[in-house]
A = this chain, B = another copy of it.
Amino acid sequence: MKRGTLIDQIKKKKSFLCVGLDVDLDKIPPHLLQEKNPLLAFNKEIIAATKDVCVAYKPNIAFYEAYGEMGWEALEATIDLIPDEIFTIADAKRGDIGNTAERYAEAFFKKMNFDAITLNPYMGKDCVAPFLAYEDKWAIVLGLTSNKGSEDFQMMEDENGEALFERVIRISSGWGNPSNTMFVVGATQSEHIERIRKISPKHFYLVPGVGAQGGDLNEVCRYGKNDDIGLLVNSTRGIIYQSKGKDFAEKARSAAIALQQEMADHI
User: Which chain A residues have a beta carbon within 8 Å of chain B's beta carbons?
Assistant: 22, 60, 62-63, 65-66, 68-69, 72-73, 76, 93-101, 103-104, 106-107, 111, 120-127, 142, 145, 147-154, 156-159, 164, 167-168, 171
Shortest distance between the CB of A152 and any CB in chain B (Å): 3
In the complex, the count of this chain's copies comes to 2
**B contact residues around A120 at 8 Å (CB):** 93, 95, 120, 122-123
Q: Are B68 and A76 in contact (CB under 8 A)?
A: yes
Q: Are B147 and A97 in contact (CB under 8 A)?
A: yes
Shortest distance between the CB of A114 and any CB in chain B (Å): 13
**B contact residues around A107 at 8 Å (CB):** 62, 65-66, 68
Q: Which 6 A-B pairs have the closest CB atoms?
A: A124-B149, A124-B152, A126-B149, A66-B103, A62-B103, A62-B100
Q: List 23 interface pairs A-B (beta carbons < 8 Å), by A numbering.
A: A22-B100, A62-B96, A62-B103, A62-B107, A65-B104, A65-B107, A66-B104, A66-B106, A68-B72, A69-B69, A72-B72, A93-B95, A93-B120, A95-B122, A122-B153, A123-B149, A124-B149, A125-B152, A126-B148, A152-B171, A153-B168, A153-B171, A157-B159
Q: Are A154 and B65 in contact (CB under 8 A)?
A: no
The answer for the CA separation of A22 and B168 in the assembled complex, in Å, is: 29
**B contact residues around A154 at 8 Å (CB):** 122-124
The answer for the CA separation of A73 and B72 in the assembled complex, in Å, is: 12
* CB-contact partner of A125 in B63, B94, B127, B149, under 8 A: B149
